[in-house]
Structure 1
Amino acid sequence: MVIEVVRIGQRLVRDDRVTTHVALVARAFGCSKIFMTEVNPEIKDTLEKINNTWGGDFVVEFIDNWKSIVKMKKKDSKIVHLTMYGESINEVDMQLRKEENLLIVVGAEKVPREIYELADYNVGIGNQPHSEISALAIILDRIQKGEQFKNSFPGAKRKIIPTRNGKNVLVRGTRD
């Protein structure tokens, strides 16, 4: 399964950190790419540094128009829109696991009404206000049932070795 994310919008200044964290969650939880609109270009640099140190080839792509990406991806992917007002994750997670390719739409502020109509799934994580970062993490974990954490990232210079106490980090001198 290929999972990608599109981030729609950004509240200037306030959302640089939130958008960075949406991208970090997408990367760490097994997505291959994130498309972003209206973003500080330093976010891409940050993710490239993370890839260089921690491995992987997660891609950040800046786009001008979210709608064109959604329509293009709709040809071979199911569109999943994260919203508090959607169907409960508990009702659709098994269906999502069966899909071949997913594009998950994560909004910043109020998203255009059109995304609700373009989406194959409008999915709510709980029924209370919450962070888009947590919503993305939960849906990615539900879809993959924790399997995304079993694989290491290729080319990692650093790898965390799970330990009960303290920190244990394997540091390699060069990328594999």
Structure 2
Amino acid sequence: MKINVLRLDHRRKRDARITTHVCLTARAFGADKVILSGDEDKKLMENVGDVVGRWGGDFKVDYRKNSENFIEEWKNNGGEVIHLTMYGSQVQEVVGEIQNSPKDKLVIVGGARVPTKVYKQADWNVSVTTQPHSEVSSLAVFLHMLFEGKELDFDFEGGKMKVVPTAEGKRVIINDKENI
């Protein structure tokens, strides 16, 4: 099953940092791709591509101006839609059902205002707490639960850099040479 993330209504001047964090979180927690809607932001997409080049993996960022058409296409091609919101079913109650379906998943995280149509198009409106918080944290918690923590051990092949976990200090391998 492939996991793609749709970031709704990215605003280049206002949302660059948070959308970058959505992309980095999606990558680190096991998603295959982020699709940006709203403003096209080539710089952001290049920056995330640079991270993938340095740290490895096969993660992509694409752009689609019209998210409504993309969601419809996704569903028409047999995929399922999970919309992360504080108004949905609690993640701990529905994650098992979501895991049991082998279909590709589109995880939607909001922007400025999520249209009512997105709630209706979603197969699951999923709440990661019922309190206001960040789409970045919602995405991280959801993917962590979806992958049952296995994403913590994913290996990102092809990167030039790799952190070596250590209780103290920083250990990084760059191009197969350890830097401390």
Q: Which amino acid aligns with 1:158?
A: M
| Cα deviation code 1:42-82 (max 9, x no counterpart) | 11111111011001121111112111211111132210001
Aligned positions of 1:99-110 closer than 5 A: 99-100=101-102, 101-110=104-113
Distance in structure 1 (CA, Å) of the matches to 2:69 and 2:169:
47
Distance in structure 1 (CA, Å) of the matches to 2:146 and 2:176:
35
Shift of 1:166: 1.0
Aligned positions of 1:23-102 closer than 5 A: 23-37=23-37, 38-74=39-75, 75-100=77-102, 101-102=104-105
Partner of 2:131: 128
SS at match of 1:24: helix
Shift of 1:12: 4.7
* 2:40 and 2:65 in contact (8 A); partners too: no
Q: Which amino acid aligns with 1:18?
A: I
Distance in structure 2 (CA, Å) of the matches to 1:157 and 1:44:
19
* 2:10 and 2:36 in contact (8 A); partners too: no
Q: Which amino acid aligns with 2:14?
A: R
Where in structure 1 are there 5+ consecutive unaligned residues?
A: none
Distance in structure 2 (CA, Å) of the matches to 1:137 and 1:61:
20
Distance in structure 2 (CA, Å) of the matches to 1:48 and 1:89:
30
Shift of 1:10: 2.5
Partner of 2:8: 8
Distance in structure 1 (CA, Å) of the matches to 2:17 and 2:93:
31
Aligned positions of 1:150-165 closer than 5 A: 150-165=153-168
Q: TM-score, normalised by structure 2?
A: 0.92
Identity %: 37
Q: CA RMSD in A?
A: 1.4
Between the two proteins, the alignment pairs up a number of residues equal to 174
In the alignment, does 2:177 pair up with 1:140?
Answer: no
Question: Runs (4+) of structure 1 moved beyond 6 Å?
Answer: none
Shift of 1:173: 5.8
| Cα deviation code 1:13-37 (max 9, x no counterpart) | 2211001100110111111111101
Q: TM-score, normalised by structure 1?
A: 0.94
* 1:16 and 1:39 in contact (8 A); partners too: no
